[in-house]
Structure 1
Amino acid sequence: MFKKKILSIIAVLISSVFANCSFATTEEALFLENVARQYILAQFTEKNDNIRYNIKVSKVDRNRDFGGKCSGYLSAKLLTPEIKKNSIVKIICRRKNNPYSIQIPVSIIVQRATIVASDNIPKGSAITQSMLEKKFVNENLILNQSITDASSIIGSKTKKDIRAGDFLKISDLCLVAKGDVVTISARSHGLEIKASGIAMEEGKLNETIAVKNIKSGKIIRALVRSANSVEVVF
């Protein structure tokens, strides 16, 4: 009975020791993963509110004992001359009593802001700011016709029913309808001239349409820049 009790106590102590070791190495592994993540994020120095970086870090071995967090002796570097979507961060610990190095693969997903409908928008509706919201998505999933600047489509009219959460596309919207009174702008040598015109045809964003200058009666070709606004490009 006494022997069984001793063995039971030893088993509890061993279990406790291994539990503490497991916690320590897991904590160190998470620490190194975060070092790799923060190092990659630090490479993107340009601030852009329309871009986010999602960093996925490969798991570090939870069973390896790194001897602590190596605070004050740690450095990190890329194993390639420049950052790529799939990169490797080499972390080096130069601690005298327990130096080590480890290579951690990371993948970088670039997410860009895209405009989506915040609610159902019926066909023929004039777009207002309250109908729109910004959503960050993987840049590989963004279509060429996706809208990234909400201000450029305010006042445009929908050509189809749009459901809440749908991406707004250039082809879904009519920024200028035939017969609309539009503002014609022209820039040259730092100067900007504006005039009023009448759209001779329908136009989508960045599409060239015929516009009649109300004052001169002259018909010109101009790019649709926003709702009821066109620009003459020299």
Structure 2
Amino acid sequence: MSLLKKVRRYSVFYFLASLCLATPLHAKVFSKDLLQEIAISHIEELVTVPLEKNVEITALPLDSRIPDRVCKNEPELIVPNEPPFTRQVTVQIKCNDSQSWTQYVHVRIVKMAPVVVANANLARGEVITKSHLSVKMKPSQFVRVQYLDDPLMLIGSRSKRNIRSGMPVLLNQICMVCKGDAVNIYASIKGLRIKTTGIALEDGTLGEQVQIKNKKSGKILNARVDGVESVQVNI
């Protein structure tokens, strides 16, 4: 056998031997993506209340320099505290075999809330239709009181200012009852609901008090806005 063939044979032998030492038989390789998925699944299992559609659980990306991990056994999963969790929890993934490594994965738990947003740019004074609106899920900690979650309640109202596409539609940006518009006036008397019409003397949105002029009597009424072109008075 030539010297060159011997060198090649021994080179292949040492290469295969090094692979066996580097990756033990039956060992499992844990990529960064797999480690993140394991951490997310573990938190989902620990949450005592069934996950709703408005809860989003994600893992922060691991450092790209972290190599794939190898472990012969199923790694141990440890969290520092018991549920209910705050918005972020750290999962410790630990391999207890001869490889002996530990990886920390930060998991975020975010409650989401529906918010009505504009599908297109709305000009000041434009009447809002169904096609102008959609619902997007946003982190609940960023949702303000004036945000709306039901687009149906806005249909027929009018924008009081320019609203950019993709932005939330706020109550203070629209008027459900607009100055100079005809409105329906409702009053309840002894279980009966009476309806008449009037003219709005000022802009108003849901729950606000506005002045309305009764068309028949000419009397000025203080009324509460309860919908688009609709107010309620107390008698």
TM-score normalised over the length of structure 1: 0.69
1:32 aligned partner: 38
1:63 aligned partner: 69
Secondary structure of the corresponding residue to residue 30 of structure 2: helix
- After superposition, residues 43-82 of structure 1 pair within 5 angstroms as 43-45=48-50, 47=52, 51-56=54-59, 62-63=68-69, 65=71, 67-68=73-74, 79-80=81-82, 82=84
Structure showing greater Rg: 2
Q: Deviations over 1:86-109 (max 9, x none)?
A: 2356899xxxxxxxx998653212
Q: Deviations over 1:31-84 (max 9, x none)?
A: 5324224325x5443756xx342433686x953626148xxxx99988235232
1:196 aligned partner: 196
| Displacement after TM superposition at 1:129 (Å) | 0.5
Secondary structure of the corresponding residue to residue 212 of structure 2: strand
How many angstroms apart in 1 are the aligned matches of 2:223 and 2:55?
35
Is 1:125–1:157's contact at 8 Å kept on the other side of the alignment?
yes
Residue identity matched to 1:196 = T
1:106 aligned partner: 107
Q: Deviations over 1:90-132 (max 9, x none)?
A: 899xxxxxxxx99865321222221111112222111001011
Is 1:28–1:68's contact at 8 Å kept on the other side of the alignment?
no
Bigger drift between 27-36 and 168-177 goes to 27-36
Unmatched 5+ stretches in structure 2: 95-101
| Displacement after TM superposition at 1:195 (Å) | 1.8
1:8 aligned partner: 11
| Displacement after TM superposition at 1:85 (Å) | 1.5
Q: 1:81 to 1:113 in 2, by over 3 A?
A: closer
How many angstroms apart in 2 are the aligned matches of 1:15 and 1:209?
83
Is 1:33–1:58's contact at 8 Å kept on the other side of the alignment?
no
Q: 1:89 to 1:180 in 2, by over 3 A?
A: same
Is 1:184–1:230's contact at 8 Å kept on the other side of the alignment?
yes
- After superposition, residues 167-186 of structure 1 pair within 5 angstroms as 167-185=168-186
How many angstroms apart in 2 are the aligned matches of 1:192 and 1:75?
64
Q: 1:118 to 1:81 in 2, by over 3 A?
A: closer
Q: 1:43 to 1:219 in 2, by over 3 A?
A: farther
Is 1:36–1:91's contact at 8 Å kept on the other side of the alignment?
no
Superposition RMSD on alpha carbons, in Å? 4.2
Task: Quote the sequence identity (%).
Answer: 24
How many angstroms apart in 2 are the aligned matches of 1:43 and 1:156?
42
Residue identity matched to 1:107 = R
Is 2:89–2:107's contact at 8 Å kept on the other side of the alignment?
yes
| Displacement after TM superposition at 1:229 (Å) | 1.9
1:98 aligned partner: none
Secondary structure of the corresponding residue to residue 2 of structure 1: helix
| Displacement after TM superposition at 1:170 (Å) | 1.7
Residue identity matched to 1:9 = V
1:136 aligned partner: 137
1:95 aligned partner: none
Is 1:37–1:57's contact at 8 Å kept on the other side of the alignment?
no
Unmatched 5+ stretches in structure 1: 93-100
How many angstroms apart in 2 are the aligned matches of 1:175 and 1:157?
7
How many angstroms apart in 2 are the aligned matches of 1:38 and 1:185?
49
| Displacement after TM superposition at 1:161 (Å) | 2.4
